[in-house]
Amino acid sequence: MQRVEIRQVRHRHELEACFDLWGFVFSNESRAFFQERLDYDTHYVGETTWVAIVDGVIASAIQIFPYRARLESLELLVGGIGSVATHPEYRGRGLAQEILHAQIHWMEENGFDLSLLFTGIHDFYRQCGWEQVLEKEYSIDSLQLNPGGSRLAAGGFVPAGHDLGEIARVYDEYNRHRTNSMVRSQEYWRDQLRWRHESLSRNFYAAIEDGEITAYLRLREKDAIYVDEAVYRPGHGDTVVSLFEQFILENPGKAIELRIPDDHALARFFDQQGVSPTSFDGAMWRLFNFPRFMKKMEPIFAKRFTNGQQGNQEILVRCGDEAVSLRVDGGDVRVIAYDGYPRYQSCLTLSEADFLTLATQGAQALEDGKVKRNPVLETLFPNQHSIMWSSDFF
C-alpha cells in the first residue's frame, strides 16, 4: 500500500523538486520561471508551498500566494492559488484536491478572508468550494479603432530620470479604495519587476506632464500585446486615452488584450468606438467565513446606508447554511449572529457564488433572475468598479 503525505515543504531540496515538477508539467513556462517567482519574492515563506508525497516522491504541488486586496477602504487577506500541478504518473488519485483541502484549513486557521485562482477547469475547483465570478475584458485589433489624433507633449517608454516610485504613486492614487486591487509594498514592486523581467524603459509606456508621470500603460508582448495595467492620476482620464491612441498609432494592426474597470476612461473611449467587452470567466473565488466577513464589512455597510438614505431596519442575509442580521439605526450598522427570531423587515437569500459576485463586483453584475433585485440589495452591494490588474495574476 502506498504511503501518501500531504504537507508543506520542509527543506530547500523539496522546493527544488517542486520547481522540477512545475517546469515539467507546465510546458509553456520554464523551470526558472517558477524558481524566480519564489526566490525573488522577499516575503516568501515555505509554509505556503504544499505537496503530496507518495512513497517519498513529490507527486503534486500547489503554491499559495498571500496578498492584501482592497474592498473599498478595507484591506482583506487573500490566498492566491497557483502552480497547481500533478505528475502525469500520479493523476487520477485526488492528490491535488487533498492538497487544496489542507490549504483551505490552513487559510481558515490563519485568518484569510478570501481565496482567488484563475483557471479554465471550473468544475474541478468548484468541488473544493471555489465559485466562478465573471468579469469583463477587451480583445481589440488596433485597426478597429479610430484615434482622435491628439498627441501628447511627452509620451513613450519611461526615459531616464524617472523612477519606480513615480509609477507606484500613480498606481496608488488610481487604486486607492478600488475593490480587488492589490495593495503593493515597495518590496513587492521591486520583486515583481525582477520575476517578470521588466524595466521602466521597456515595459512602462507613460505620459509625462510638467515633468511628472500622470498615466502609464504596463505592456507585455507575446502572441498579442497585453496591457496589464492602464493607470492614471485623478483628473487625467483624457491623458490615458491620448496615451493609448498614441500607442496604437505606433503599433498598427496589432492584437491588444486588456482588462479595465467599467468606470475607466478607456472603457468610455471603447464604447464611443463601438468596441464592447467580452466575458472573462477565468476568476474563481472562495469565501472562508461568511459571518466574520460580514462583520468586517460593518463600516462599509454604514457608509453605504448613509449614502443610500435607507431608514432604520433589520435585514436578514443568508449565504448557504449561514445567516447574519444587519441592524440599521441611522448611520450605524451592526452585523450580529442571527438568533432565529423573525424580527427582520427584509431577507436576502444568496448562494455563495452570488455573494462573492456581490462583494467583489456589485449587484449589477448578477445574472438577471438569479436574485430578485430590490433597493436593499442595491444599497448593500453597489457597483464596485473593481479590478485586479493582470500583472498580479498567479
Per residue in 119-146, pLDDT (tens digit) is 999 999 999 999 999 999 999 999 989 8
Answer yes or no: is 202 within a domain.
Answer: yes
CATH code of residue 314: 3.30.1050.10
- What mean pLDDT do residues 205-217 have? 96
110/227 same-domain check:
no
Establish if 145 belongs to a structural domain: yes
At 63, which CATH number? 3.40.630.30
Could you tell me the CA-to-CA distances from 152 to 22, 90, 216, 242, 245 in Å, in that order?
44, 56, 12, 7, 10
The count of domains in the chain is 3
Determine the pLDDT at residue 369: 64
**Mean pLDDT value of segment 309-314:** 78
Residues 259 and 181 in one domain: yes
Which domain-ending residue is among 98, 132, 166? Answer: 132
Residue 232: give the domain boundaries. 137-279
The pLDDT mean for the chain works out to 95
Task: Look at residue 127 and tell me if it is in a domain.
Answer: yes
pLDDT at 330: 78
Question: Residue 308 pLDDT > 90, yes or no?
Answer: no
The yes-or-no verdict on residue 84 having pLDDT over 80 is yes
Tell me what pLDDT residue 153 has.
Answer: 67
Amino acid letter for position 162: H
* Whether residue 44 is found in the same domain as residue 127: yes
Residues 301, 330: one domain? yes
* Position 343 confidence tier, pLDDT thresholds 50, 70, 90: confident
102 and 155 in a common domain: no
Same domain, 267 and 376: no
Q: Which of 257, 279, 301 is the last residue of a domain?
A: 279
Contacts of 27-36 with CB under 8 Å at 24 or more apart are 34/83, 36/194, 36/195
Residue 186 lies in a domain: yes
Decide which of 279, 310, 338 is a domain's last residue. 279
Structural domain contains residue 385? no
pLDDT digits (tens, 9 = 90+) for 220-268: 999 899 999 999 999 999 999 999 999 999 999 999 999 999 999 999 9
25, 104: one domain: yes
The reply to whether 389 falls in a domain is no
pLDDT tens digits for range 10-19: 999 999 999 9
- The strand ranges marked E within the chain are 4-8, 49-54, 57-71, 74-86, 114-118, 131-132, 135-141, 155-157, 204-209, 212-221, 225-232, 255-258, 278-280, 283-287, 313-319, 322-329, 332-337, 346-350
